[in-house]
Structure 1
């Protein structure tokens, strides 16, 4: 690390919703310093410089030329990941890149090779397998006290397809649609809990609204090499919401405030132009008129839909306090402190890798395996058949290693 032996200087590339959401975690980590940001939005740059007394750059190239920057968090559109990872790797910067890693296996493989060639760590996140409730589920599974895992399910119904979107988010070939964008979370959760190595999948995806021409729902059946079956069900068409089953808590952690039924769908239908929709999306990013206060602590751990793990001697699911375990003799709650968050775990996984050589779980190969499930799900739906996978990897370390 170029700053000191104790601190990691990190720069954010892209100050949209994803980039802004990571800021509190960077500020909360005792050994990581928010040093810079790069974006082409001058208003955001000016606000960022004022808010954090940090450096600002117009491009990732400029940011990566700064010798004081140790690592970059790439929160740019998926179709730019390949080029931006190349720039960062060749500048010898360690990398966190938003999910999905890429759109194709070939691109993902190139990124992995670039990072290894240049001696930098490549971590993909934030994905919801970093969240403390999912990690605690894994800890309980690994303990063996509930016996072996019998099945894993993640089902999520929400309004994703009708939230304000930029054009690339509704183009499958650019990594748009729920299978790439949200399946990345689901498959990451399921693979972490199931051991990592998916043997085969069978999927059906749908585009139900021609005005939103990307996948809006999918049903995916996964079978692991160890025999565990799993399902990933996602529907983003803004009818039923899974928050009705998850204590009104959504993926950001706050209580859901749905307001008028199908509010997202109505808002988009009433939007006058694609430019107006993009403006709504921009306004939700850092410093925008519709942005949330990212420094405000959430009251609950987030629910990425309904995740249920069934074992020989009991079932596990989330509760507002942490987890509910349905054992053979009784049902009990496992409380998980709110001080830890999924995004803080992302930052800590990078820090532990750089500072202490701790091998990250969510590295490039892990991310390529998640991407393979996305790609094969779309292919399986088109070909209407089961497909076998070839780039899967096991969970390399116990989840506890992330949180040392």
Structure 2
């Protein structure tokens, strides 16, 4: 089976992740790019040997296109992903699935109605260290999970975005809505759900725009830092920190504390996964290093999406999984804004 892919939005996520991974996949024969700035689409089409659509409708009405990556900014996902599914395309939607529960449900319902694959790009489920950690927890060799802490921070989207300036849409409330919580935090919420086979149900949080300024030199409209306390349905307690102001180096680590020891995930450079047993024994795993903004590697997301389409199998990250993580982020934002504990 040869597939033709369409990509909506030609920012950094397309340039560094989606397009090269489609290009490397043996089952993808061609990529069609659309961006509201046509020169961006043309640049990527030239880079990856693809072609250009001049409108979203042209892209979605093309009967030869089988699959769509929705790499638009957050506020458009519910429009483009819904439309693509109802046009009979399989869809890989960037995270967060949407900005509201109502709009996320529109996408999920469109997927059910169309019978097409809907997958959401929560890429941390695909790393070997997270998959191995989930296996270890599931086997119960460390006993019950009691507590956890997770963090995701880097120097900010203005260093990653396509135009490399403080005018990035990530800093605009009407477009990104959740700031660092929706950019980085939602990944870690999703990976906690995945690792623990559990869901966060109660949250409190503090947030602030501590350091970032926009193109006019004013503090940004969304949070650049947020720190949370979390409780899961099964009673596990945890903390989470998400930041756009980790200026020295990126941190993308998680530690799971169990009855019989500790799991450290992406906590050190040499070993991506460490088990420290309560008798002092240490087991180190050298797996692949995690993607960073400065070190791009194949995420496995596109390969998984293509496999789901080829074999008609359920994706590792469903619309419902993405909605569950979105609900937690909405709860975290409400908790931070109202200084209350919020039930999800």
Scaled to the shorter chain, the TM-score interval is 0.7 to 0.9
Corresponding position of 1:348: 303
Corresponding position of 2:203: 201
How far has the Cα of 1:325 moved from its partner?
1.8
Residues 1:170 and 1:48: Cα distance change in structure 2 (over 3 Å): closer
Corresponding position of 1:307: 254
1:348-374 Cα offsets, whole Å, 9 max, x none, are 332232222322231111111111111
**Residue number among 282, 285, 296 corresponding to 1:334 in the alignment:** 285
Corresponding position of 2:215: none
1:297-343 Cα offsets, whole Å, 9 max, x none, are xxxxxxx5221112222212224343122124521221225799985
**Residue 9, structure 1, aligned to residue 4, structure 2:** yes
Separation (CA, whole Å) in 2 of partners of 1:207 and 1:338: 30
1:50-106 Cα offsets, whole Å, 9 max, x none, are 333322112222111222211111111111111111221121101111111111111
| Unmatched runs of 5 consecutive residues or more in structure 2 | 160-164, 212-217
Separation (CA, whole Å) in 1 of partners of 2:232 and 2:67: 34
Corresponding position of 1:324: 274
Native 8 Å contact 1:201 1:388 kept in 2:
yes
Residues 1:322 and 1:7: Cα distance change in structure 2 (over 3 Å): farther
1:89-133 Cα offsets, whole Å, 9 max, x none, are 121101111111111111111111112111111111153333222
Native 8 Å contact 2:122 2:190 kept in 1:
no
**Residue 79, structure 1, aligned to residue 34, structure 2:** no
Native 8 Å contact 2:198 2:234 kept in 1:
no
> Aligned to 2:300, what secondary structure does the other structure show?
helix
> Aligned to 1:182, what secondary structure does the other structure show?
helix
How do residues 3-402 of structure 1 correspond to structure 2 at under 5 angstroms? 6-22=1-17, 23-160=19-156, 163=159, 164-166=165-167, 168-176=169-177, 177-209=179-211, 210-238=218-246, 241=248, 243=249, 250=250, 304-317=251-264, 318=266, 319-320=268-269, 321-327=271-277, 328-337=279-288, 344-389=299-344
How far has the Cα of 1:28 moved from its partner?
2.9
Native 8 Å contact 1:61 1:87 kept in 2:
no
Equivalenced residue count is 323
Separation (CA, whole Å) in 2 of partners of 1:165 and 1:76: 19
Residues 1:343 and 1:364: Cα distance change in structure 2 (over 3 Å): farther
Native 8 Å contact 2:154 2:246 kept in 1:
yes
Residues 1:126 and 1:339: Cα distance change in structure 2 (over 3 Å): closer
How far has the Cα of 1:16 moved from its partner?
0.8
1:128-179 Cα offsets, whole Å, 9 max, x none, are 3332222222122122222221222112343227643445322334324111
Corresponding position of 1:260: none
Worse overlay, 61-70 or 172-181: 172-181
Separation (CA, whole Å) in 2 of partners of 1:156 and 1:90: 35
Native 8 Å contact 1:128 1:342 kept in 2:
no
